[in-house]
Every structure is written in structure tokens, then in C-alpha cells.
Amino acid sequence: MKTIINKGLTEITSVDNNSTRDLAEIVGKRHSDVLRTIYHLEKKIANAGLRRLWTESKYIDGQGKNRKHYLLTKKGLLLLASKYSDELRLQIIERLEVLEIQNQKAEAESKRRLELELSYAWNKSDTSDLYR
């Protein structure tokens, strides 16, 4: 099971919009089991906030048929994963933290590049004014 968990966690490449099919593979459950868990949670907890944790969607299976799955937010992924394994929940939290840090670094780098480009453009316009 550990190799399945580790393999699955490295396949999570986004903080949001992981599907219930991804989660089923990670936890080693059938996709229908994960769908059933969502169904029971929705029956048990009549909370509008709960519905924001996942969005129903469709995918085409290997036989070319449209099938239902859900796209999960970060909270939705954590909620469902916690139903299956404490160890897995911890690993998912750690993986999501790594992804969030990577996102923050990418945003900071993008901001830095923009500032450098603006600074270059500003300096270039200043020097061109000197020679008029």
C-alpha cells in the first residue's frame, strides 16, 4: 500500500481540482467507493459549504462511456482522504504544502521578473530623454 500512496501523491500536481478517480488510485479504493463516500457525506451533512468542496463532472472511460466523477478542492481532498487513512491524510497535507510553496515561489519569481522588466523599461526611457 505504501508504494501506491507514494506513487499517487507524486501524481498530485495541483492543489485544486484533483478528481475522485485520482483519490481512489491514491488510497487504493475503487472509484465507486469514493463516490459512495461523497453520497453518504452529502446525505449526512446538509450544509451548503460541503457542496463547494467538490464539483460534479464527467469523464470518458476506457469503453468510451460518459461516467460521473467529482473534481475536488483542497478541502474536499483532505476531507475524503481522512476517511481512509491517517497516514495518508498526513502525506497529502505534506504534499499540498510542498505544492503551495512551489506556487508561492513561482508567483514571487514572476513578480520579480515583471519588476525587472518595468525597471529596465523605465531606465531605458530615462536615458533616451537625455539625448534629445
- The residue extents of the domains of the chain are 2-100
Of 17 and 19, more confident:
19
* 81-85 average pLDDT score: 82
Write down the pLDDT at residue 33. Answer: 96
Residue written as cell 521578473? 113
pTM of the entire structure? 0.56
pLDDT band at 48 (very low <50, low <70, confident <90, very high): low
CB 89 within 8 A of CB 81: yes
Q: What is the pLDDT of residues 20-31, one digit of tens each?
A: 998 898 888 999
Q: What are phi and psi of 5, to 5 degrees?
A: -60, -50
pLDDT band at 129 (very low <50, low <70, confident <90, very high): low
